[in-house]
Amino acid sequence: MLCEECQMNEAVFTVTLTSGDGVTRKHLCGECMKKWEANLADGDIHSFLSSILSILGSAQKTDDPVCSGCGLKYSAFEKSGRLGCAQCYHDFADKLTPMLKRIHGNTQHNGRTPRAMQTQADAAAQAASPEAETPAPVPEISPVEKMREELRKKMDEAVACENFEDAAKYRDQLKALMDDGEVQA
Partner 1 sequence: MANSHEIAVSGRIRLARNYHDLPFHNQENAATCLKRAYDALHNYTEDLYTLHILNNMSKDERLSLMEEHLISADLLKNAGTGAALIRKDRQVSIMVNEEDHLRIQAIEVGGGLEHAAQQAFQAEEILEKVCGFSFDPKFGYLTSCPTNTGTGMRASLMLHLPMLTRYKQMGNVGQNVAKLGLTIRGIYGEGSEALGDLYQVSNQVSLGRSEEDIIQAVTAVGKQLIDMESGLRDRSMKRAPAELKDAVMRSYGLLSYAITMDEKEFMQHWSNMRLGIALGMVPTPLSTSDELLTTAQNAHVRHFAAKREIASAREARCEWIRECLNRA
Q: Which of 3, 5, 84, 155 binds partner 1 (CB under 8 A)?
A: 84
Hey, which residues between 90 and 129 contact partner 1 (CB under 8 A)? 96, 99-100, 103-117, 121, 124
The widest CA-to-CA distance across the chain, in whole angstroms, is 86
Rounded Cα gap, residues 42 and 182, in angstroms? 68
Total number of residues that touch partner 1 (CB under 8 A) = 56
Minimal distance in Å, beta carbon 50 to partner 1?
27
Contact call for residue 132 and partner 1 (CB under 8 A): yes
Contact call for residue 5 and Zn ion (CB under 5 A): yes
Rounded Cα gap, residues 109 and 157, in angstroms? 39
* Residue 32's binding partner out of Zn ion, partner 1, none, with CB under 5 to 8 Å set by partner kind: Zn ion
Contact call for residue 49 and partner 1 (CB under 8 A): no
Amino acid at 97: T
Beta strand pairing call for 22-28 and 13-19 = antiparallel
Contact call for residue 165 and partner 1 (CB under 8 A): no
Q: Which of 40, 85, 96, 100 binds Zn ion (CB under 5 A)?
A: 85
With CA atoms as reference, report the closest residue to 153 among 170, 128, 132, 175. 170
Instruction: Say if residues 12 and 30 touch (Cβ distance below 8 Å).
Output: yes
Rounded Cα gap, residues 84 and 113, in angstroms? 22
With CA atoms as reference, report the closest residue to 60 among 44, 76, 37. 76
Hey, which residues between 9 and 28 contact partner 1 (CB under 8 A)? 10
**Binding-site string for partner 1 from residue 134 to residue 163, where x marks contact by CB under 8 A and - marks none:** -xx-xxxxxxx--x--xx------------
User: Among residues 33 and 151, whose Cβ is nearest to Zn ion?
Assistant: 33
Rounded Cα gap, residues 91 and 3, in angstroms? 20
Residues of the shown chain interacting with Zn ion in the complex, contacts defined by CB under 5 A? 3, 5-6, 9, 29, 32, 67, 69-70, 72, 84-85, 87-88
